[in-house]
Amino acid sequence: MLTFDEENHLYCFEGKPVQSVTQILKSAGLIDDQWFTEAARRRGQYVHEAAQYLDEEDLNWENVDPILQPYLRAYEKFKAETGFIPILIEKRLYNPTYQYAGTLDRTGVFKTRQEVLIDIKSGSVAPWAALQLAGYNECLPKKLPRFALQLNNDGTYKLYSFKDPMDHQIFLSVLAVVRWRQHHGGLKHGNNPGA
């Protein structure tokens, strides 16, 4: 049983804490969050919540903050132009083999019937998003084409496709390094039993 404590951003599987995909990438130094602001974090959270209401056909536009509306219009435009129909929405996942968790934004199909994995961003798309999506993909029964959907504050969007097949191996390698460092107490010097 996978649970999530939203306040502390803590996943637990059968009561035992497990790292998330983003925690793994942060621990490896691949995510530099020094430029993240609380306002941007909140905006991203609200955009995700409103997009979920939109997908579930339960969004009341009168209740949407005017600052958020362009992001949602961009999401509407993306759905109209690609024919995207969501299947999984804000789905919490656990990988029993590698023992980590995460919450993917969307899986769904385009009008071409291609099934895809999409991460919604209300800010810029960093290179590590490719690894983030690879981590989520490792939790799914089959590998899906990976995309980051950048929603902009002018009502436009940009879709980024991640096609490097090495991303999955790189994510698992990052996970192995992070676990090794945790097991061996980080990168302490002067204690080399193998020398």
pLDDT bracket for residue 46 (50, 70, 90): very high
Share of the chain above pLDDT 90, in %: 84
pLDDT of residue 194: 47
Q: Check if CATH label 3.90.320 holds for domain 2-183.
A: yes
In this predicted structure, what is the pLDDT of residue 195? 43
Mean pLDDT over 71-91 rounds to 97
pLDDT digits (tens, 9 = 90+) for 147-193: 999 999 999 999 999 999 999 999 999 999 999 998 887 655 544 44
Which DSSP string corresponds to the chain?
-EEEETTTTEEEETTEEE-BHHHHHHHTT---GGG--HHHHHHHHHHHHHHHHHHTT---GGGS-TTTHHHHHHHHHHHHHH--EEEEEEEEEEETTTTEEEEEEEEEE-TT--EEEEEEESS---TTHHHHHHHHHTTSSS---EEEEEE-TTS-EEEEEE--THHHHHHHHHHHHHHHHHHTTSS-SS--TT-
pLDDT for residue 39? 85
Q: What is the pLDDT of residue 188?
A: 56
**Domain segments of the chain: what residues?**
2-183
The token pair at 92 is: 């919490």
Say how far apart CA 89 and CA 96 lie, in whole Å: 21
